[in-house]
């Protein structure tokens, strides 16, 4: 008798488990969004690039940070914006962030970014979020974010050539183990843009890929 395939956990449950079991590290703290959100060598050049961009817009941008995590990065950015919406799928994490980070222009929301309606904004920030999601979830999200003016996307991708957008089950590692990574400009996402540039890139040691930040201006 054939066994039925296991139904993947909903993304919300997976992300709750990741934080509950400290699978991204940080056993000494309540919530920890991984080394990619804490290593100064990785995050400082990234912060400098984004702050420089926000300053060119005279701090007038409304930002929608999708997958804000423990807010170790967002806490440095909010003061350079007119409004900063910080969103994550983990309820307890968002409640913790609300208790710790308080600014007049800062609001936190617990949302499933692939399903729920997103706040209106000028610029979307997606930092190492899509790499954890299935293609179907990314496709749902792309339909929403293509209506914003700017997208700042950071992804962990292989070094050198790779086949983009191999599908995964949400939360089951990232595409790097398949020598793949997310590229929103390629099928099946096919995001249409007016302008693209690389804002920042960090090469990880031991052939563990690169963390690349793209700036997209939408048509």
Site of tokens 């309606």: 117
Q: What is the per-residue pLDDT across 71-88, written as a single tens digit (0 to 9) for each?
A: 999 999 999 999 999 999
Q: What is the 3-class SS of 41-105, one letter each residue? A: HHHHHHHHHHHHHHHHCCCCCEEEEECCCCCCCHHHHHHHCCEEEEEECCHHHHHHHHHHCCCCC
Per-residue model confidence (pLDDT) at position 5: 44
Q: What is the per-residue pLDDT across 174-192, written as a single tens digit (0 to 9) for each?
A: 999 999 999 999 999 999 9
Would you say domain 11-218 falls under CATH 3.40.50.150? yes
Residue 197 contacts residue 52 (beta carbons within 8 Å): no
Burial of residue 91 (number of CB atoms within 10 Å: 0-12, 13-18, 19+): exposed
Average pLDDT, the chain: 94
Residue 87 contacts residue 66 (beta carbons within 8 Å): yes
Provide the residue ranges of all domains of the chain, joining segments of one domain with +: 11-218
Q: What is the pTM of this model?
A: 0.94
Residues paired with residue 126 on neighbouring β-strands, in sequence order: 153
């Amino acid at each position: 008798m054939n066994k039925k395939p296991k139904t993947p956990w909903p993304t919300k449950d997976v992300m709750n488990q990741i934080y509950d079991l400290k699978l991204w590290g940080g056993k000494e703290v309540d919530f920890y969004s991984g080394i990619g959100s804490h290593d100064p060598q990785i995050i400082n050049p990234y912060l400098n690039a984004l702050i420089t961009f926000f300053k060119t817009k005279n701090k007038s941008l409304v930002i929608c940070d999708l997958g804000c995590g423990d807010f170790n990065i967002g806490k440095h950015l909010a003061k350079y914006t007119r409004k900063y919406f910080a969103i994550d799928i983990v309820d307890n994490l968002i409640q913790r962030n609300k208790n710790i980070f308080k600014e007049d222009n800062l609001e936190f929301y617990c949302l499933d970014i692939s399903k729920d309606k997103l706040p209106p904004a000028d610029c979307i920030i997606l930092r190492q979020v899509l790499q954890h999601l299935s293609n179907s979830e990314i496709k749902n999200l792309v339909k929403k974010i293509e209506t914003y003016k700017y997208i700042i996307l950071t992804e962990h991708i292989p070094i050198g050539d790779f086949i983009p957008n191999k599908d995964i089950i949400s939360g089951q590692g990232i595409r790097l183990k398949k020598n793949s990574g997310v590229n929103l400009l390629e099928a099946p996402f096919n995001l249409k843009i007016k302008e693209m540039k690389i804002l920042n890139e960090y090469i990880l040691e031991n052939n563990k890929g690169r963390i690349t930040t793209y700036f997209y201006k939408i048509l």
